Structure 1
Amino acid sequence: MKRVFSAPGDYIYFKSQVPLHRIPIGTKQWRYYDFGPKVVTPLICLPGTAGTADVYYKQIMCLSMKGYRVISVDIPCVWNHQEWIQSFEKFLDAIDVHHIHLYGTSLGGFLAQLFAQHRPRRVKSLILSNTFLETRSFAAAMPWAPIVSWTPSFLLKRYVLTGIRDGPHEPFIADSVDFVVSQVETLSRDELASRLTLTVDSASVKPLLLSDSFITIMDTNDYSAIPQQLKDQLSERYPGARRAYLKTGGDFPFLSRPDEVNLHLQVHEVYISKWNLTRIYD
Protein backbone atom coordinates (compact mmCIF):
# COMPACT_ATOMS: atom_id res chain seq x y z
CA MET A 1 0.00 0.00 0.00
CA LYS A 2 1.30 3.44 -0.92
CA ARG A 3 2.11 5.62 2.07
CA VAL A 4 0.16 8.87 2.33
CA PHE A 5 2.46 11.75 3.20
CA SER A 6 1.38 14.37 5.69
CA ALA A 7 3.72 17.12 6.86
CA PRO A 8 5.24 16.37 10.28
CA GLY A 9 4.09 18.55 13.16
CA ASP A 10 7.60 19.83 13.85
CA TYR A 11 7.92 20.89 10.20
CA ILE A 12 4.61 22.76 10.34
CA TYR A 13 5.88 24.51 13.49
CA PHE A 14 9.19 25.30 11.78
CA LYS A 15 7.39 26.91 8.83
CA SER A 16 5.38 29.07 11.23
CA GLN A 17 8.52 30.32 12.99
CA VAL A 18 11.26 30.60 10.37
CA PRO A 19 10.74 32.78 7.28
CA LEU A 20 11.78 31.59 3.85
CA HIS A 21 13.87 34.25 2.11
CA ARG A 22 13.99 34.81 -1.64
CA ILE A 23 16.51 37.11 -3.27
CA PRO A 24 17.35 37.55 -6.96
CA ILE A 25 21.05 37.74 -7.71
CA GLY A 26 21.66 38.43 -11.36
CA THR A 27 19.55 35.91 -13.23
CA LYS A 28 19.46 33.47 -10.29
CA GLN A 29 16.75 33.19 -7.67
CA TRP A 30 18.03 32.10 -4.26
CA ARG A 31 15.70 30.51 -1.69
CA TYR A 32 17.11 30.11 1.79
CA TYR A 33 16.47 30.01 5.51
CA ASP A 34 18.73 31.99 7.84
CA PHE A 35 18.15 31.50 11.54
CA GLY A 36 20.24 32.10 14.63
CA PRO A 37 22.54 34.88 15.87
CA LYS A 38 24.10 36.93 13.10
CA VAL A 39 27.35 37.57 14.98
CA VAL A 40 28.71 34.02 14.57
CA THR A 41 30.18 32.32 11.51
CA PRO A 42 27.26 30.50 9.89
CA LEU A 43 26.91 26.83 9.11
CA ILE A 44 25.60 26.67 5.54
CA CYS A 45 23.75 23.50 4.53
CA LEU A 46 23.81 22.36 0.90
CA PRO A 47 21.33 19.63 -0.13
CA GLY A 48 21.67 16.81 -2.60
CA THR A 49 19.95 16.45 -5.97
CA ALA A 50 16.58 15.64 -4.41
CA GLY A 51 16.80 18.14 -1.56
CA THR A 52 15.66 21.68 -0.90
CA ALA A 53 16.44 24.22 1.79
CA ASP A 54 13.60 22.67 3.81
CA VAL A 55 15.25 19.28 4.31
CA TYR A 56 17.55 20.72 6.99
CA TYR A 57 14.73 22.13 9.11
CA LYS A 58 15.64 19.85 12.03
CA GLN A 59 19.18 21.25 12.07
CA ILE A 60 17.93 24.84 11.86
CA MET A 61 15.52 24.43 14.79
CA CYS A 62 17.90 22.53 17.05
CA LEU A 63 21.20 24.31 16.44
CA SER A 64 19.79 27.85 16.37
CA MET A 65 18.54 27.31 19.92
CA LYS A 66 22.10 26.43 20.92
CA GLY A 67 23.59 29.65 19.58
CA TYR A 68 24.45 28.58 16.04
CA ARG A 69 23.55 30.48 12.91
CA VAL A 70 22.28 28.00 10.32
CA ILE A 71 21.66 28.93 6.69
CA SER A 72 20.03 26.32 4.47
CA VAL A 73 19.86 27.00 0.73
CA ASP A 74 18.28 25.66 -2.42
CA ILE A 75 20.75 25.01 -5.21
CA PRO A 76 19.64 27.48 -7.91
CA CYS A 77 19.54 26.79 -11.64
CA VAL A 78 23.22 26.78 -12.54
CA TRP A 79 24.48 24.70 -15.43
CA ASN A 80 28.16 24.13 -14.74
CA HIS A 81 30.48 24.05 -11.76
CA GLN A 82 32.19 27.37 -12.45
CA GLU A 83 28.77 29.03 -12.56
CA TRP A 84 27.98 27.41 -9.21
CA ILE A 85 31.12 28.79 -7.59
CA GLN A 86 30.52 32.31 -8.93
CA SER A 87 26.80 32.31 -8.09
CA PHE A 88 27.34 31.00 -4.55
CA GLU A 89 30.00 33.62 -3.90
CA LYS A 90 27.63 36.36 -5.09
CA PHE A 91 24.97 34.96 -2.77
CA LEU A 92 27.35 35.14 0.21
CA ASP A 93 28.26 38.71 -0.70
CA ALA A 94 24.56 39.64 -1.01
CA ILE A 95 23.77 38.40 2.52
CA ASP A 96 27.02 39.94 3.88
CA VAL A 97 28.63 36.66 4.92
CA HIS A 98 32.38 36.38 4.47
CA HIS A 99 33.49 33.18 6.19
CA ILE A 100 31.50 29.98 6.43
CA HIS A 101 31.35 26.41 7.64
CA LEU A 102 29.87 24.16 4.94
CA TYR A 103 27.77 21.05 5.54
CA GLY A 104 27.02 19.25 2.28
CA THR A 105 25.31 15.96 1.56
CA SER A 106 25.55 14.02 -1.72
CA LEU A 107 25.70 16.60 -4.56
CA GLY A 108 25.83 19.34 -1.92
CA GLY A 109 28.99 17.81 -0.45
CA PHE A 110 30.63 17.75 -3.88
CA LEU A 111 29.71 21.39 -4.51
CA ALA A 112 30.97 22.32 -1.03
CA GLN A 113 34.37 20.82 -1.85
CA LEU A 114 34.54 22.62 -5.18
CA PHE A 115 33.81 25.93 -3.49
CA ALA A 116 36.46 25.24 -0.83
CA GLN A 117 38.94 24.42 -3.60
CA HIS A 118 38.34 27.62 -5.57
CA ARG A 119 37.53 30.03 -2.70
CA PRO A 120 39.70 28.71 0.14
CA ARG A 121 39.78 31.95 2.11
CA ARG A 122 36.02 31.84 2.68
CA VAL A 123 35.64 28.24 3.91
CA LYS A 124 36.67 27.64 7.53
CA SER A 125 35.62 23.98 7.65
CA LEU A 126 33.71 21.20 5.87
CA ILE A 127 31.27 18.53 7.00
CA LEU A 128 30.79 16.02 4.19
CA SER A 129 28.08 13.36 4.24
CA ASN A 130 27.44 10.50 1.79
CA THR A 131 29.27 12.36 -0.97
CA PHE A 132 31.97 12.00 -3.64
CA LEU A 133 35.06 13.50 -5.28
CA GLU A 134 34.31 13.18 -9.00
CA THR A 135 31.38 12.87 -11.39
CA ARG A 136 32.73 10.34 -13.89
CA SER A 137 30.74 7.34 -12.63
CA PHE A 138 27.48 9.30 -12.64
CA ALA A 139 28.05 10.45 -16.21
CA ALA A 140 28.69 6.86 -17.29
CA ALA A 141 25.40 5.78 -15.70
CA MET A 142 23.42 8.50 -17.47
CA PRO A 143 24.08 8.27 -21.24
CA TRP A 144 21.19 10.64 -21.98
CA ALA A 145 22.89 13.46 -20.05
CA PRO A 146 23.38 15.63 -23.21
CA ILE A 147 19.60 16.02 -23.55
CA VAL A 148 18.77 16.45 -19.85
CA SER A 149 17.89 20.14 -20.30
CA TRP A 150 15.16 19.18 -22.79
CA THR A 151 13.77 16.23 -20.83
CA PRO A 152 10.18 16.54 -19.54
CA SER A 153 9.74 17.21 -15.84
CA PHE A 154 7.96 13.94 -15.06
CA LEU A 155 10.86 11.91 -16.49
CA LEU A 156 13.43 13.92 -14.51
CA LYS A 157 11.46 13.39 -11.31
CA ARG A 158 11.15 9.68 -12.04
CA TYR A 159 14.91 9.43 -12.59
CA VAL A 160 15.72 11.31 -9.38
CA LEU A 161 13.27 9.21 -7.37
CA THR A 162 14.67 5.92 -8.68
CA GLY A 163 17.90 6.87 -6.90
CA ILE A 164 16.06 6.91 -3.57
CA ARG A 165 15.83 3.42 -2.16
CA ASP A 166 12.24 2.28 -1.78
CA GLY A 167 11.17 0.27 1.31
CA PRO A 168 10.89 -1.63 3.40
CA HIS A 169 12.40 0.85 5.83
CA GLU A 170 12.48 1.39 9.53
CA PRO A 171 9.72 3.93 10.24
CA PHE A 172 12.08 6.85 10.88
CA ILE A 173 13.89 6.23 7.58
CA ALA A 174 10.60 5.77 5.70
CA ASP A 175 9.44 9.13 7.07
CA SER A 176 12.65 10.81 5.85
CA VAL A 177 12.18 9.33 2.38
CA ASP A 178 8.55 10.49 2.26
CA PHE A 179 9.60 14.01 3.24
CA VAL A 180 12.29 14.24 0.55
CA VAL A 181 9.95 12.80 -2.09
CA SER A 182 7.46 15.54 -1.18
CA GLN A 183 10.21 18.11 -1.72
CA VAL A 184 11.13 16.69 -5.13
CA GLU A 185 7.54 17.37 -6.18
CA THR A 186 8.10 21.09 -5.53
CA LEU A 187 11.09 21.35 -7.89
CA SER A 188 10.70 22.75 -11.39
CA ARG A 189 11.97 21.05 -14.53
CA ASP A 190 14.89 23.49 -14.81
CA GLU A 191 15.86 22.95 -11.16
CA LEU A 192 15.92 19.18 -11.62
CA ALA A 193 17.73 19.40 -14.95
CA SER A 194 20.40 21.75 -13.61
CA ARG A 195 21.11 19.54 -10.60
CA LEU A 196 21.41 16.43 -12.72
CA THR A 197 23.71 18.36 -15.05
CA LEU A 198 25.94 19.29 -12.10
CA THR A 199 26.07 15.61 -11.14
CA VAL A 200 27.25 14.42 -14.56
CA ASP A 201 29.23 17.43 -15.84
CA SER A 202 32.88 16.36 -15.92
CA ALA A 203 34.70 17.55 -12.79
CA SER A 204 36.76 16.31 -9.88
CA VAL A 205 37.87 17.88 -6.62
CA LYS A 206 41.55 18.74 -6.57
CA PRO A 207 43.55 18.78 -3.30
CA LEU A 208 42.30 21.46 -0.93
CA LEU A 209 44.30 24.09 0.91
CA LEU A 210 42.02 23.37 3.86
CA SER A 211 43.70 21.07 6.38
CA ASP A 212 42.12 17.67 7.00
CA SER A 213 41.84 18.79 10.64
CA PHE A 214 38.99 21.08 9.55
CA ILE A 215 37.01 18.33 7.81
CA THR A 216 34.48 15.89 9.24
CA ILE A 217 33.22 12.95 7.18
CA MET A 218 29.77 11.86 8.35
CA ASP A 219 28.48 8.75 6.56
CA THR A 220 25.76 6.19 7.18
CA ASN A 221 26.80 2.55 7.37
CA ASP A 222 23.56 0.95 6.20
CA TYR A 223 23.20 2.21 2.62
CA SER A 224 23.05 5.31 0.48
CA ALA A 225 22.59 6.22 -3.17
CA ILE A 226 26.30 7.06 -3.31
CA PRO A 227 28.27 3.86 -4.06
CA GLN A 228 30.60 2.74 -1.27
CA GLN A 229 33.57 2.93 -3.63
CA LEU A 230 33.05 6.67 -4.06
CA LYS A 231 32.70 7.20 -0.31
CA ASP A 232 35.92 5.23 0.22
CA GLN A 233 37.71 7.47 -2.31
CA LEU A 234 36.60 10.49 -0.31
CA SER A 235 37.91 9.00 2.95
CA GLU A 236 41.25 8.20 1.32
CA ARG A 237 41.57 11.80 0.06
CA TYR A 238 41.20 13.19 3.60
CA PRO A 239 43.02 10.70 5.85
CA GLY A 240 43.29 13.19 8.71
CA ALA A 241 39.61 14.11 8.77
CA ARG A 242 37.35 13.34 11.74
CA ARG A 243 35.10 10.32 11.18
CA ALA A 244 31.49 10.34 12.32
CA TYR A 245 29.79 7.14 11.20
CA LEU A 246 26.10 6.53 11.78
CA LYS A 247 25.04 2.89 12.08
CA THR A 248 21.78 3.58 10.25
CA GLY A 249 20.06 6.55 8.64
CA GLY A 250 19.86 5.85 4.92
CA ASP A 251 20.31 8.65 2.41
CA PHE A 252 18.90 11.39 4.63
CA PRO A 253 20.32 11.03 8.16
CA PHE A 254 19.73 14.74 8.82
CA LEU A 255 16.02 13.82 8.80
CA SER A 256 16.07 10.22 10.01
CA ARG A 257 18.76 10.60 12.69
CA PRO A 258 18.66 14.31 13.50
CA ASP A 259 19.82 13.99 17.13
CA GLU A 260 22.98 12.14 16.11
CA VAL A 261 23.66 14.42 13.14
CA ASN A 262 23.13 17.55 15.21
CA LEU A 263 25.47 16.21 17.89
CA HIS A 264 28.20 15.54 15.32
CA LEU A 265 27.74 19.01 13.84
CA GLN A 266 28.17 20.53 17.30
CA VAL A 267 31.24 18.39 18.05
CA HIS A 268 32.72 19.51 14.74
CA GLU A 269 32.21 23.20 15.55
CA VAL A 270 33.59 22.78 19.09
CA TYR A 271 36.65 20.97 17.76
CA ILE A 272 37.30 23.69 15.16
CA SER A 273 36.91 26.42 17.79
CA LYS A 274 39.32 24.70 20.20
CA TRP A 275 41.84 24.08 17.43
CA ASN A 276 41.77 27.76 16.47
CA LEU A 277 42.24 28.81 20.11
CA THR A 278 45.19 26.43 20.41
CA ARG A 279 46.82 28.10 17.39
CA ILE A 280 46.29 31.54 18.91
CA TYR A 281 47.92 30.65 22.24
CA ASP A 282 50.73 28.43 20.95
Structure 2
Amino acid sequence: MASRTGAPEGTMFKANGLEWDVIDTGMPSPDAPTLVLLPGTLGTAGIFRAQIDGLRDIARVIALTYPIERNLGRLVDSLITLLDELGIDTFHILGSSFGGFAAQWLADRASDRIETLFIGNSLVDPVPSRKRLPPLDTMEAMNGEQHKELILKSVAGWDESEPVFADLKKKLMESAETVGGEGLKARVMALQNSQAVPPLAVAPERIVIIESVDDPLIGPEARRAVEERYPGAEIRRFRVGGHYPYVTRPDEYNAIIRERLLAAP
Protein backbone atom coordinates (compact mmCIF):
# COMPACT_ATOMS: atom_id res chain seq x y z
CA MET A 1 0.00 0.00 0.00
CA ALA A 2 1.24 3.44 -0.85
CA SER A 3 1.66 6.37 1.48
CA ARG A 4 1.85 9.09 -1.11
CA THR A 5 -0.42 12.08 -1.07
CA GLY A 6 -2.85 12.09 -3.94
CA ALA A 7 -2.28 13.54 -7.37
CA PRO A 8 -4.51 16.51 -8.22
CA GLU A 9 -7.57 15.69 -10.26
CA GLY A 10 -6.85 15.52 -13.96
CA THR A 11 -3.12 14.88 -13.52
CA MET A 12 -1.50 13.23 -16.53
CA PHE A 13 0.94 10.37 -16.04
CA LYS A 14 2.96 8.74 -18.80
CA ALA A 15 3.70 5.02 -18.47
CA ASN A 16 5.38 3.02 -21.23
CA GLY A 17 4.76 5.91 -23.58
CA LEU A 18 0.99 6.08 -22.93
CA GLU A 19 -0.69 8.97 -21.14
CA TRP A 20 -3.27 8.32 -18.42
CA ASP A 21 -5.51 10.91 -16.81
CA VAL A 22 -5.50 10.13 -13.09
CA ILE A 23 -7.72 11.16 -10.19
CA ASP A 24 -5.97 10.16 -6.96
CA THR A 25 -7.52 11.00 -3.59
CA GLY A 26 -4.45 10.07 -1.58
CA MET A 27 -4.31 7.96 1.57
CA PRO A 28 -6.92 8.82 4.24
CA SER A 29 -4.83 6.88 6.77
CA PRO A 30 -1.46 5.09 6.69
CA ASP A 31 -2.99 1.61 6.53
CA ALA A 32 -5.90 2.38 4.18
CA PRO A 33 -6.46 0.10 1.17
CA THR A 34 -6.19 1.29 -2.42
CA LEU A 35 -9.11 1.07 -4.85
CA VAL A 36 -8.44 1.38 -8.59
CA LEU A 37 -11.39 2.24 -10.85
CA LEU A 38 -11.48 1.47 -14.59
CA PRO A 39 -14.37 2.92 -16.63
CA GLY A 40 -16.17 1.48 -19.61
CA THR A 41 -15.96 2.48 -23.26
CA LEU A 42 -17.79 5.77 -22.73
CA GLY A 43 -16.36 6.58 -19.34
CA THR A 44 -13.63 8.80 -17.98
CA ALA A 45 -12.21 8.91 -14.47
CA GLY A 46 -14.86 11.46 -13.55
CA ILE A 47 -17.75 9.09 -14.19
CA PHE A 48 -16.85 7.48 -10.85
CA ARG A 49 -17.54 10.71 -8.96
CA ALA A 50 -19.98 8.99 -6.58
CA GLN A 51 -17.40 6.33 -5.71
CA ILE A 52 -14.57 8.85 -5.37
CA ASP A 53 -16.58 11.02 -3.00
CA GLY A 54 -18.26 8.13 -1.22
CA LEU A 55 -15.22 5.94 -0.53
CA ARG A 56 -12.30 8.31 -0.13
CA ASP A 57 -12.80 8.31 3.64
CA ILE A 58 -11.70 4.66 3.87
CA ALA A 59 -9.47 4.16 0.82
CA ARG A 60 -7.04 5.74 -1.53
CA VAL A 61 -9.26 5.94 -4.61
CA ILE A 62 -7.60 6.08 -7.99
CA ALA A 63 -9.86 6.60 -11.01
CA LEU A 64 -8.36 6.42 -14.47
CA THR A 65 -9.04 7.65 -17.99
CA TYR A 66 -7.47 5.46 -20.66
CA PRO A 67 -4.88 6.60 -23.16
CA ILE A 68 -5.68 6.13 -26.85
CA GLU A 69 -4.39 2.60 -27.41
CA ARG A 70 -5.98 -0.11 -29.53
CA ASN A 71 -3.89 -3.01 -28.21
CA LEU A 72 -5.24 -4.29 -24.90
CA GLY A 73 -1.97 -6.01 -24.02
CA ARG A 74 -0.03 -2.75 -24.32
CA LEU A 75 -2.74 -0.96 -22.37
CA VAL A 76 -2.52 -3.46 -19.49
CA ASP A 77 1.29 -3.38 -19.50
CA SER A 78 1.15 0.41 -19.27
CA LEU A 79 -1.38 0.20 -16.44
CA ILE A 80 0.89 -2.07 -14.42
CA THR A 81 3.76 0.37 -14.91
CA LEU A 82 1.48 3.27 -13.91
CA LEU A 83 0.50 1.52 -10.67
CA ASP A 84 4.18 0.91 -9.94
CA GLU A 85 4.98 4.57 -10.51
CA LEU A 86 2.12 5.60 -8.22
CA GLY A 87 3.71 3.50 -5.48
CA ILE A 88 0.93 0.92 -5.37
CA ASP A 89 1.75 -2.64 -4.39
CA THR A 90 -1.50 -4.47 -3.64
CA PHE A 91 -4.90 -3.05 -4.49
CA HIS A 92 -8.60 -3.67 -4.99
CA ILE A 93 -9.67 -3.08 -8.59
CA LEU A 94 -13.11 -2.41 -10.01
CA GLY A 95 -13.66 -2.36 -13.74
CA SER A 96 -16.97 -1.66 -15.43
CA SER A 97 -17.82 -3.05 -18.89
CA PHE A 98 -14.64 -2.62 -20.98
CA GLY A 99 -12.89 -1.79 -17.72
CA GLY A 100 -14.07 -5.07 -16.21
CA PHE A 101 -12.60 -6.94 -19.16
CA ALA A 102 -9.31 -5.04 -18.84
CA ALA A 103 -9.27 -5.68 -15.08
CA GLN A 104 -9.49 -9.42 -15.69
CA TRP A 105 -6.52 -9.28 -18.05
CA LEU A 106 -4.65 -7.25 -15.44
CA ALA A 107 -5.45 -9.99 -12.94
CA ASP A 108 -3.98 -12.51 -15.38
CA ARG A 109 -0.67 -10.64 -15.26
CA ALA A 110 -0.62 -9.49 -11.64
CA SER A 111 -2.87 -11.84 -9.69
CA ASP A 112 -0.71 -11.70 -6.57
CA ARG A 113 -1.25 -7.95 -6.26
CA ILE A 114 -5.04 -7.98 -6.34
CA GLU A 115 -6.96 -8.04 -3.06
CA THR A 116 -10.42 -7.93 -4.65
CA LEU A 117 -11.36 -8.13 -8.32
CA PHE A 118 -14.71 -6.42 -8.88
CA ILE A 119 -16.09 -7.33 -12.32
CA GLY A 120 -18.88 -4.86 -13.05
CA ASN A 121 -21.39 -5.32 -15.90
CA SER A 122 -18.74 -6.98 -18.00
CA LEU A 123 -17.88 -10.06 -20.02
CA VAL A 124 -15.23 -12.76 -20.33
CA ASP A 125 -15.32 -13.22 -24.11
CA PRO A 126 -15.91 -10.46 -26.69
CA VAL A 127 -16.77 -12.84 -29.54
CA PRO A 128 -20.52 -13.25 -28.76
CA SER A 129 -20.94 -9.47 -28.56
CA ARG A 130 -19.81 -9.16 -32.17
CA LYS A 131 -23.18 -10.49 -33.30
CA ARG A 132 -24.76 -7.08 -32.68
CA LEU A 133 -21.88 -5.12 -34.23
CA PRO A 134 -20.64 -4.56 -37.79
CA PRO A 135 -17.94 -7.01 -38.95
CA LEU A 136 -14.45 -6.39 -37.53
CA ASP A 137 -13.03 -5.25 -40.87
CA THR A 138 -15.89 -2.78 -41.22
CA MET A 139 -15.24 -1.38 -37.75
CA GLU A 140 -11.54 -1.10 -38.55
CA ALA A 141 -12.40 0.96 -41.63
CA MET A 142 -14.78 3.25 -39.73
CA ASN A 143 -13.34 6.54 -38.51
CA GLY A 144 -13.65 7.78 -34.96
CA GLU A 145 -16.71 9.92 -35.58
CA GLN A 146 -18.52 6.95 -37.10
CA HIS A 147 -17.69 4.90 -34.03
CA LYS A 148 -18.99 7.65 -31.79
CA GLU A 149 -22.19 7.88 -33.80
CA LEU A 150 -22.73 4.12 -33.58
CA ILE A 151 -22.18 4.07 -29.82
CA LEU A 152 -24.39 7.06 -29.10
CA LYS A 153 -27.17 5.64 -31.28
CA SER A 154 -27.14 2.57 -29.04
CA VAL A 155 -27.23 4.69 -25.89
CA ALA A 156 -30.14 6.74 -27.23
CA GLY A 157 -32.25 3.59 -27.42
CA TRP A 158 -31.84 2.63 -23.76
CA ASP A 159 -34.90 2.73 -21.51
CA GLU A 160 -35.50 5.75 -19.30
CA SER A 161 -37.62 4.13 -16.61
CA GLU A 162 -36.51 6.74 -14.06
CA PRO A 163 -35.15 10.30 -14.31
CA VAL A 164 -31.69 9.06 -13.30
CA PHE A 165 -31.45 7.09 -16.55
CA ALA A 166 -32.19 10.20 -18.62
CA ASP A 167 -29.52 12.05 -16.64
CA LEU A 168 -27.12 9.19 -17.30
CA LYS A 169 -27.63 9.51 -21.04
CA LYS A 170 -26.73 13.20 -20.86
CA LYS A 171 -23.56 12.37 -18.93
CA LEU A 172 -22.59 9.76 -21.49
CA MET A 173 -23.15 12.18 -24.37
CA GLU A 174 -20.82 14.65 -22.65
CA SER A 175 -18.31 11.91 -21.91
CA ALA A 176 -18.29 10.87 -25.56
CA GLU A 177 -17.21 14.36 -26.51
CA THR A 178 -14.45 14.30 -23.91
CA VAL A 179 -13.12 10.90 -24.99
CA GLY A 180 -13.47 11.78 -28.67
CA GLY A 181 -14.06 9.57 -31.67
CA GLU A 182 -10.55 8.18 -31.89
CA GLY A 183 -10.52 7.39 -28.19
CA LEU A 184 -13.83 5.54 -28.48
CA LYS A 185 -12.65 3.62 -31.51
CA ALA A 186 -9.47 2.61 -29.69
CA ARG A 187 -11.47 1.18 -26.77
CA VAL A 188 -13.93 -0.65 -29.01
CA MET A 189 -11.17 -2.22 -31.08
CA ALA A 190 -9.05 -3.07 -28.02
CA LEU A 191 -11.99 -5.12 -26.77
CA GLN A 192 -13.18 -6.63 -30.01
CA ASN A 193 -9.70 -7.66 -31.18
CA SER A 194 -9.05 -9.45 -27.88
CA GLN A 195 -9.35 -13.09 -26.98
CA ALA A 196 -11.42 -14.49 -24.15
CA VAL A 197 -9.97 -13.98 -20.67
CA PRO A 198 -7.82 -16.98 -19.68
CA PRO A 199 -8.29 -18.83 -16.37
CA LEU A 200 -7.16 -16.55 -13.56
CA ALA A 201 -5.02 -17.38 -10.55
CA VAL A 202 -7.34 -15.35 -8.32
CA ALA A 203 -9.17 -17.20 -5.56
CA PRO A 204 -12.99 -17.12 -5.90
CA GLU A 205 -13.34 -15.44 -2.52
CA ARG A 206 -11.42 -12.48 -3.93
CA ILE A 207 -13.82 -11.96 -6.85
CA VAL A 208 -17.07 -9.98 -6.78
CA ILE A 209 -19.34 -9.99 -9.83
CA ILE A 210 -21.71 -7.03 -10.08
CA GLU A 211 -24.45 -7.16 -12.71
CA SER A 212 -27.85 -5.75 -13.63
CA VAL A 213 -30.81 -7.79 -14.78
CA ASP A 214 -31.89 -4.91 -17.04
CA ASP A 215 -28.44 -4.30 -18.56
CA PRO A 216 -29.04 -3.26 -22.20
CA LEU A 217 -25.55 -4.37 -23.28
CA ILE A 218 -24.62 -7.36 -21.14
CA GLY A 219 -27.46 -9.80 -21.64
CA PRO A 220 -28.31 -13.05 -19.84
CA GLU A 221 -25.91 -15.16 -21.93
CA ALA A 222 -22.93 -12.90 -21.23
CA ARG A 223 -23.81 -12.61 -17.52
CA ARG A 224 -24.10 -16.38 -17.24
CA ALA A 225 -20.70 -16.81 -18.91
CA VAL A 226 -19.08 -14.58 -16.29
CA GLU A 227 -20.77 -16.42 -13.43
CA GLU A 228 -19.77 -19.82 -14.84
CA ARG A 229 -16.17 -18.71 -15.35
CA TYR A 230 -15.84 -17.79 -11.66
CA PRO A 231 -17.72 -20.39 -9.61
CA GLY A 232 -17.64 -19.50 -5.95
CA ALA A 233 -17.33 -15.76 -6.59
CA GLU A 234 -19.69 -13.42 -4.79
CA ILE A 235 -22.48 -12.22 -7.08
CA ARG A 236 -24.28 -8.94 -6.42
CA ARG A 237 -27.22 -8.30 -8.71
CA PHE A 238 -29.28 -5.17 -9.36
CA ARG A 239 -32.81 -5.78 -10.56
CA VAL A 240 -32.88 -2.24 -11.99
CA GLY A 241 -29.56 -0.54 -12.60
CA GLY A 242 -28.86 -0.58 -16.32
CA HIS A 243 -25.31 -0.76 -17.63
CA TYR A 244 -24.07 1.86 -15.17
CA PRO A 245 -25.42 0.92 -11.72
CA TYR A 246 -22.56 2.81 -10.07
CA VAL A 247 -24.19 5.94 -11.53
CA THR A 248 -27.86 4.98 -11.26
CA ARG A 249 -27.62 3.21 -7.87
CA PRO A 250 -24.54 4.80 -6.29
CA ASP A 251 -25.37 4.26 -2.61
CA GLU A 252 -26.07 0.55 -3.02
CA TYR A 253 -23.06 0.17 -5.30
CA ASN A 254 -20.73 1.91 -2.87
CA ALA A 255 -22.03 -0.29 -0.06
CA ILE A 256 -20.90 -3.39 -1.96
CA ILE A 257 -17.40 -1.98 -2.35
CA ARG A 258 -17.21 -0.57 1.17
CA GLU A 259 -18.10 -3.94 2.66
CA ARG A 260 -15.14 -5.54 0.91
CA LEU A 261 -12.68 -2.75 1.65
CA LEU A 262 -13.50 -2.81 5.35
CA ALA A 263 -13.29 -6.61 5.50
CA ALA A 264 -9.80 -6.68 3.99
CA PRO A 265 -7.06 -7.63 6.49
TM normalised by structure 2 equals: 0.89
Please list, as runs of the form range in 1=range in 2, the aligned pairs for 1:206-245 lying within 5 A after superposition. Answer: 206-245=198-237
Q: What is the root-mean-square deviation in Å for CA atoms of aligned residues? A: 1.8
In the alignment, the residues of structure 2 paired with residue 178 and residue 167 of structure 1 have an alpha-carbon distance, to the nearest angstrom, of 13
What amino acid does structure 2 have at the position aligned with 1:249? G
Please list, as runs of the form range in 1=range in 2, the aligned pairs for 1:187-198 lying within 5 A after superposition. Answer: 187-198=179-190
Q: Which moved more, 1:98-107 or 1:23-32?
A: 23-32
What amino acid does structure 2 have at the position aligned with 1:127? F
Q: Does 1:126 align with 2:91?
A: no
The answer as to whether partners of 1:138 and 1:199 remain within 8 angstroms in 2 is no
Q: Does 1:82 align with 2:66?
A: no
How many residues align? The count is: 255
Q: Which moved more, 1:257-266 or 1:163-172?
A: 163-172
Q: CA shift at 1:36, angstroms?
A: 4.0
Q: CA shift at 1:190, angstroms?
A: 2.4
Partner of 1:7: none
In the alignment, the residues of structure 1 paired with residue 177 and residue 136 of structure 2 have an alpha-carbon distance, to the nearest angstrom, of 21
Partner of 1:58: 50
The answer as to whether partners of 1:41 and 1:100 remain within 8 angstroms in 2 is yes
Partner of 1:28: 18
Partner of 1:279: none
Identity of aligned residues (%): 26
Q: CA shift at 1:80, angstroms?
A: 1.8
| Cα separation, partners in 2 of 1:268 and 1:179, compared to 1, 3 Å | same
Please list, as runs of the form range in 1=range in 2, the aligned pairs for 1:155-170 lying within 5 A after superposition. Answer: 155-164=146-155, 165-170=157-162
| Cα separation, partners in 2 of 1:57 and 1:168, compared to 1, 3 Å | closer
TM normalised by structure 1 equals: 0.84
Which blocks of at least 5 consecutive residues in structure 1 are unaligned? 1-17, 277-282
Q: CA shift at 1:177, angstroms?
A: 2.2
Q: CA shift at 1:140, angstroms?
A: 4.2
Partner of 1:265: 257
Q: CA shift at 1:43, angstroms?
A: 0.7
> What does the per-residue CA deviation read over 1:12-49, in whole Å, with 9 as the maximum and x for residues that have no partner?
xxxxxx62211222431110101141643311111111
In the alignment, the residues of structure 2 paired with residue 194 and residue 100 of structure 1 have an alpha-carbon distance, to the nearest angstrom, of 26
1:97 counterpart SS class? coil
Q: Does 1:107 align with 2:101?
A: no
In the alignment, the residues of structure 2 paired with residue 136 and residue 190 of structure 1 have an alpha-carbon distance, to the nearest angstrom, of 22
The answer as to whether partners of 1:46 and 1:73 remain within 8 angstroms in 2 is yes
Partner of 2:4: none
Runs of 4+ in 1 over 6 A off after TM superposition: none
Q: CA shift at 1:208, angstroms?
A: 1.1
The answer as to whether partners of 2:37 and 2:94 remain within 8 angstroms in 1 is yes
The answer as to whether partners of 1:216 and 1:268 remain within 8 angstroms in 2 is no
> What does the per-residue CA deviation read over 1:248-282, in whole Å, with 9 as the maximum and x for residues that have no partner?
111111111100000011112234x1xx4xxxxxx
In the alignment, the residues of structure 1 paired with residue 121 and residue 170 of structure 2 have an alpha-carbon distance, to the nearest angstrom, of 19
